Amino acid sequence: MSSFSFEIDPLAVLGVPSNASLEQIRDAYRRKSKIYHPDVGGEDWAFRVVVQSYEMLSAARVLRATSFEMEPRRSAPAADRRREPSSETLRGGIHDTNVDPMRTVAVEHLCVRFLWEEAAYLWLTQKTSDEDRFLSCCLNLSWPDDAESLRESPASETAGILQALEEIFDHMVVSSRVVSSRSWVDDHRFGGWLSYAGFDRSWKALKTLHDALRSRGLGIRQWSRDLFIPRDWK
C-alpha cells in the first residue's frame, strides 16, 4: 500500500541537478506541489512521487553535508569547537522492558532541525512555524530489533508479527497525517518509515504507534536522533 512498484529518479522528478542545494530542492518541491497536489487537481499517486523524491534528496543532502563536515570539525582549534553547535544528538526514549524482545519493534524518531544564527539550538516557540523549525521528522521502524537478544521463534509467530506490523503501518499511513511513507518485508524482516511535516505531528504519531503495537501484544524500543543544520546552510 505504501511503497512504489517502480523505480523513480528523484532528480528528474524535481528537475534539479545532482549538486542541488537544500534551498533548490525545497523550492523545486514547492513548485511541483502546486501542480500535483490533490487539493489543486493533481493525482494522488503523482503527488506521492513528488513527496518521496523530496524526502530522498533532502535526506541525502543533509547526511552528505554532515558527514563531510565532521572531519574538519574534529581538527579545528579548541576555541572554535566550543563556539560550534553539535551536528547531532542522540537520546533514549520509550522501552517496553516487560515485552518479549522477540515482540519488540525498534523505532527511531529522527528530526532534522534548523539552528538559530546565534544560538546552540532552535528552541520550540509558539511564534515559529514547524516549517521554520524543522526540515523533516520521521519514524523509522525495524523488526526484529537487532539490539535485542532474540530467541528462536516458530514460523507461525513470525508470520503473525509481520502481518500485525503491516496492518498497523498501513493504518498509520491513513490516520496520522503522514507526508510520505514506505514499508517492506524481506527475509522475515519488517522495515518502514513515516514522514511528518513537523515535530508535534510526529510525536503524536509515535504515541499512536505505541498504543497500536501494545494492543497487538507488541512492544517498542524507541530513541530520538536530532540532526542540526544552520538556517543559512545551502
Q: Where in the chain is the domain with CATH 1.10.287.110?
A: 10-78
- Structure confidence at residue 27 (pLDDT): 85
- Structure confidence at residue 222 (pLDDT): 95
pTM exceeds 0.75: no
Nearest to 193 by CA among 172, 207, 208, 221: 172
- Structure confidence at residue 98 (pLDDT): 94
Helix (H) or strand (E) holding 222: strand 219-230
Give the C-alpha separation, 230 to 234, whole Å.
9
Q: What is the CATH number of domain 10-78?
A: 1.10.287.110
Average pLDDT over residues 193-215: 92
- Structure confidence at residue 175 (pLDDT): 92
Q: What percent of the chain has pLDDT over 90?
A: 28
Confidence of residue 94 (pLDDT cuts 50, 70, 90): very high
pLDDT in tens, 95-150: 999 999 999 999 999 887 665 444 444 344 444 555 555 667 889 899 998 877 66
**Residue 137, burial from CB neighbour count under 10 angstroms (0-12, 13-18, 19+):** buried
Give the C-alpha separation, 41 to 144, whole Å.
41
Edge-to-edge order in the sheet of strand 134-143: 88-95, 219-230, 104-115, 134-143, 189-196, 180-186
Confidence of residue 76 (pLDDT cuts 50, 70, 90): very low
The number of angstroms, rounded, from the C-alpha of 110 to the middle of its chain's C-alpha atoms is 5
pLDDT in tens, 164-201: 999 999 999 999 988 888 888 988 899 988 888 888 89
Is the confidence at residue 77, as pLDDT, over 50? no
Distances (CA, A) of 124 to 85, 135, 200: 17, 14, 10
- Structure confidence at residue 51 (pLDDT): 77
- Structure confidence at residue 165 (pLDDT): 97
**Residue 121, burial from CB neighbour count under 10 angstroms (0-12, 13-18, 19+):** middle
- Structure confidence at residue 31 (pLDDT): 87
Distances (CA, A) of 131 to 76, 80, 209, 232: 32, 30, 23, 14
Is the confidence at residue 82, as pLDDT, over 60? no
Higher pLDDT, 71 or 59: 59
Residue entry with cell 487539493: 39
Tell me the range of 45-49, 59-63, 212-216 where mean pLDDT is highest: 212-216
Give the C-alpha separation, 100 to 25, whole Å.
43
